[in-house]
Amino acid sequence: MVNVNRTPIIGGNWKMHHTRALARELLSSLRAALEEFNQIDVVICPPAPWLGDAIDTLESSSILVGVQNVHSASEGAFTGEQSAAMLVGSVDYVIVGHSERRLMFGETDRQVNEKLRSVIDAGLEPILAIGESQDERESGETENVLRRQLFTGFDSIKMLPTGMVIAYEPVWAIGTGMSASPEMVQMAAVTVRNLVAERFDEITANSIRIQYGGSVNSTNASEFAEQPDIDGALVGGASLNADDFSAICEIFAHGR
Ligand code: PEP
């Protein structure tokens, strides 16, 4: 479903990396490189302790700030957690359901749904991460896994925010240096759009933005940017290097 009206979006997921000094240096370099980069949306998701630095350093630039996780409640006795409601006015995007949260912290599809609803209710922009494991792909289960993750993830949600972001991230491609083939990702993106059309409608399916995530770098990014249903990338490792990350942004800005 080619739709030139979908604005590509690149996310930088720093995970739990960088000292404060390195984080500040990276933020300044990103600002210098992408300050007036308006062709596409660029979102930086630093570790929570460097959120204030990111907000300050990127203020009034075109670079947006996001977080890597939230709790589903709006407030309460949840030591160490942060809510979407608390982030309103400070950040724009929230990653929900990253595979590292699902696999290492036992997040279920049901919890992902609760978090997604809390983000939408707070008026923030979600980046919903989904994707199959190597075993699931090899046993032909990819579509069923995506269906389960999306349909449970969307439970009780009547409408998706316009241009909502879904990150298709096959688990076996994350942080492994082994990216999926562009054709495989394009096929998965079409599957995701069809599932969204089935659950909501064609207009919604055509408007959602689908990122690919999994070992994207400045060398392989153009192959993904050329695919009609891939509208950006969620970048882990390569987002820790300002030159690489900026190059990926440039490629997606000129990829269509
Ligand atoms: C990610 O963290 O979502 C990711 C895709 O990581 P990497 O680019 O390092 O594979």
Q: What is the pLDDT of residues 190-203, one digit of tens each?
A: 999 999 999 999 99
Cα 224 from chain centroid (whole Å): 15
Q: Is residue 109 in a domain?
A: yes
Strand partners, 63: 42
Q: Does a structural domain hold residue 4?
A: no
Q: Within its chain, how far is the Cα of 111 from the centroid?
A: 17
pLDDT at 114 over 60: yes
- pLDDT bin (cut points 50, 70, 90) of residue 152 is very high
The residue ranking higher by pLDDT, 35 or 122, is 122
- 85: helix, coil or strand? helix
- Residue pair 247/214 in contact (Cβ under 8 Å)? The answer is no
The DSSP code sequence of 152-202 is: HHTTT---PPTT-EEEE--GGGTTSS-PPPHHHHHHHHHHHHHHHHHHS-H
Asked whether residue 40 carries a pLDDT value surpassing 60, the answer given is yes
pLDDT at site 255: 72
| Residue 2 falls inside a structural domain | no
The rounded percent of the chain whose pLDDT value lies above 90 is 93
pLDDT of amino acid 4? 56
Q: Tell me how far apart the alpha carbons of residues 160 and 196 are, in angstroms, rounded to a whole number.
A: 10
167 CA: nearest ligand 1 atom: 3
pLDDT of the residue at 47: 98
Domain that holds residue 232: 9-254
Average pLDDT, the chain: 96
| CATH number reported for the structural domain that contains residue 113 in this entry | 3.20.20.70
Closest approach atom of ligand 1 to CA 99 = 3
Angle at the Cα of 39 from the Cα atoms of 63 and 32, rounded to 5 degrees:
40
Domain-located, residue 27: yes
Tell me, in angstroms, the distance from the centre of ligand 1 to residue 16's CA. 12
Average pLDDT over residues 157-174: 96
- Of 10, 13, 102, which is best to mutate to test ligand 1, by the most ligand atoms within 8 angstroms of its C-beta? 13
The model's pTM is: 0.96
